[in-house]
Amino acid sequence: MSRHTIRFELNGATREVEVEADRLLLDVLRDETGLTGTKEGCRVGICGTCTVLVDGRPMTSCLFPAVHADGTAVRTIEGIAHDRELTPLQTAFIEHGGFQCGICTPGQIVSATALLETHPRPTDEQIREWMMGNLCRCTGYFGIVRAIQAAASA
């Protein structure tokens, strides 16, 4: 197995790690950088709990080779709030019933952050389309959609 040194920006700070060729970004984040906010759910690309942003785009970190993060900017749930101050989106999730058990929430927030950065005023259709990749077994999705709508119109 070949080993590779990769350099990337992680939530604004430059990181350098050595990884084996088959190491996945999810595992590097959780096991090597100690950022355990990114969750492992299905590990087959369906549930979205492992969503992180790579150069601003939502990626499936359970299917993303860590070597492919070389030279990119990675943002995880830990990099969303500024100085411990929640973003309007995070506050809206609290106020509008955007979560219950919370296991899917890091992925939801990361995906929705990218949505609002791409479409600051998304239509309901755009919200549903974009968020389709983030499953939630608790909320029935209405609270999540309401929270995103509220954050977008704040």
Partner 1 sequence: MSYELHRPRSLDEALALLERHEDAHVMAGATAMVLLMRQGLVRPERVVSLRDAGMSGIRREADGTLWIGATTTIRDAETSDAVRAHCAALAETFGRVATVRVRCQATIGGNLAHADPAQDPPPMLIAIGAEAELARAGGARRRIAVEDLLVDQFATAIDPGELLVGVRVPPPAPGTRATYVKFLPKTEDDYATVSVAAAVRVADGRIADARIALGSVGATAIRARKTEQALRGAAPQQIADAAAIVRDEIDAIDDLRGSAAYKREMARVWTERAVRSLMA
The interface mask with ligand FAD, positions 62-81, x = CB under 6 A, is -x------------------
Q: Which does 38 bind (CB under 5 to 8 A by kind): ligand FES, ligand FAD, partner 1, none?
A: none
Pairing state between β 73-75 and 51-54:
antiparallel
Q: Which H or E run includes 74?
A: strand 73-75
Torsion of CA 49, 110, 128, 65, to 10 degrees: -60
CB of 104 to partner 1, least distance (A): 13
Instruction: Check: CB of residue 95 under 8 Å from CB of residue 128.
Output: no
C-beta atoms surrounding 38 within 10 Å: 24
Which of the ranges 3-11, 38-46, 77-85, 145-153 carries the binding residues for ligand FES, by CB under 6 A? Answer: 38-46
Which member of 41, 65, 88, 97 binds ligand FES (CB under 6 A)?
A: 41
Can you tell me the distance from the alpha carbon of 150 to that of 153, in angstroms, rounded to the nearest whole number? Answer: 5
Q: Which residues bind ligand FAD (CB under 6 A)?
A: 45-46, 63
Binding interface with ligand FES (CB under 6 A):
40-43, 45-50, 60, 62, 99-105, 136-139
